[in-house]
Structure 1
């Protein structure tokens, strides 16, 4: 590598400064901490908003309602004002981020808005037993912000909030965890998120949002199908749907060279097959132990081999 850089510098393809910079990078004197800083910013915002929510819930009576409303509202308005001022406006395509803080200021504003909504309902109980509609309102506002400000962090927050609202609605019907209506709604929600992302991409609308839709939608869909494999009423149907969905995820992974979707397909598929086998096969302690030993070793070997194959194809 050093010889190549020397040749490029001698040929005046690279300037002395450019060649020196590349030598420092190649010698690992310089390295990027971009993603580490982004992770710290993201974690800091989550911790701050969580702490603010706990503060509001525990000490709102002593601090004062108007003071809390003023502080949260001012912080939320300041965040959105910053984004409106520095953002490039709406575009169906991808927008360049104006600065490093932009995405996280928007995320902070959205989380403060959610805190404000929760505080208003806690204090004044506008919707009483229908408080879950605050979740739906938050999800729709986050979706609007994600598309207007072109922010995938807020899109993830919007889709997660929408899923939470659907789960709360299902739990109010008296269903248990992953039982009946809740499982069906999870299957519907996962399929809807994937379909929405695919439709947007086909229409040329925010195509770079597709990975967010697929990662969330595929995980929710596969998880819901796995929990249905063990049900007595429609276990076989859920198992068939799981195999079909896992195959689709694996096919997408090979087309797009994305190991994550292959990992989803293999892991969820393995869990579903295990549940199906244990429910329908003759059970013995020796057979179960042998099954887990052989299947786990095969699964691990296959994942390592597939990961190396994906790495070599990049």
Structure 2
């Protein structure tokens, strides 16, 4: 930066007094607190919406369902009005608000809208509530907010709600009893949903529709596909199918990481690929009954791990050179 100002002084674009003033300002090492304030605003939105939910839960009998629904709907409509008024309308390309605070207002409105939808169905079906309909409607509403107002936070809410609708929900009991890997329907739903995300990203990229959303969509697809494949590879049946699917997904995201210059995808592709390779090796050892050389394999394990770390670092450096990512 100093070289730039030296050049400006030599070309007489700025005076020496201005150059000295700029140098003194740089020595103060001041920084912008914009990100910190936006983060606090994000936290305040989450705390406020959580407080609204707690108030509704604790005072549901004293205030009444109708009053709470009316107040929640009114607040949602008011917030949506300000979002709509300050937005520049729908566009396939990336658009932003003039004031970044309205991005958080869109997030706040999306949370309120999903809360209203869920509470509305809860009020209609007080005892036997099937929340799949409310989840689907919430997902559609959040995705509509995301694409109209160009908001990635709303997109994350929409994808999460849509995943819950197709069956990607875990019970606490399932986790503690370690029966998650036996839930075949859950694994199939996860793989199908990840595939749906890949198809939607391909369609969006082909039609130039919110291409900057691709990072969020593909990140969901990458982790969901990998986790489901790992869970499937632990089963005694069709484990080879899950590993083949994992290898195909790893190669796909490896290519995408280079195209988008996304080092996070590249790192996770290497990480998931490494785990998948180890699972395959253990499966082969178990299949051919190589118990007699087990001690030798244990002896080679430290060298294998060190070699893997060195290779991992080397591949990261090559990726940075290839994509010019700092």
What range describes the TM-score normalised by the shorter chain of this pair?
A: 0.7 to 0.9
Distance in 1 between residues matched to 2:58 and 2:229, nearest whole Å: 39
Q: Would the alpha carbon gap of residues 89 and 223 (structure 1) be closer, same or farther in structure 2, given more than 3 Å must change?
A: same
Distance in 1 between residues matched to 2:24 and 2:264, nearest whole Å: 32
Q: What residue number does 1:59 align with?
A: 59
Is the contact between residue 230 and residue 279 of structure 1 (CA under 8 Å) also seen in structure 2?
A: no
TM-score w.r.t. the length of structure 2 is: 0.83
CA-based RMSD? 3.1
Is the contact between residue 122 and residue 129 of structure 2 (CA under 8 Å) also seen in structure 1?
A: no
Q: CA deviation at 1:4?
A: 4.2
Matched, 1:167 2:171: no
Alignment: residue pair count: 311
Q: Deviations over 1:61-92 (max 9, x none)?
A: 23433332233222211210110110111112
Q: What residue number does 1:124 align with?
A: 124
Q: What residue number does 2:90 align with?
A: 90
Alignment partner of 1:243 out of 219, 226, 247: 247
Q: CA deviation at 1:42?
A: 2.5
TM-score w.r.t. the length of structure 1 is: 0.85
Q: What residue number does 2:269 align with?
A: 265
Q: Would the alpha carbon gap of residues 16 and 194 (structure 1) be closer, same or farther in structure 2, given more than 3 Å must change?
A: farther
Distance in 2 between residues matched to 1:115 and 1:286, nearest whole Å: 57
Matched, 1:227 2:231: yes
Distance in 1 between residues matched to 2:50 and 2:112, nearest whole Å: 10
Q: CA deviation at 1:200?
A: 0.8
Matched, 1:304 2:313: yes
Q: Would the alpha carbon gap of residues 20 and 40 (structure 1) be closer, same or farther in structure 2, given more than 3 Å must change?
A: farther
Matched, 1:193 2:227: no
Q: CA deviation at 1:127?
A: 9.6
Q: Would the alpha carbon gap of residues 180 and 16 (structure 1) be closer, same or farther in structure 2, given more than 3 Å must change?
A: farther
Structure 1 unpaired stretches of 5+: none
Distance in 2 between residues matched to 1:162 and 1:227, nearest whole Å: 21
Distance in 1 between residues matched to 2:244 and 2:25, nearest whole Å: 50
Distance in 2 between residues matched to 1:116 and 1:103, nearest whole Å: 20
Specify the structure having the higher radius of gyration (Cα). Answer: 2
Distance in 2 between residues matched to 1:187 and 1:107, nearest whole Å: 28
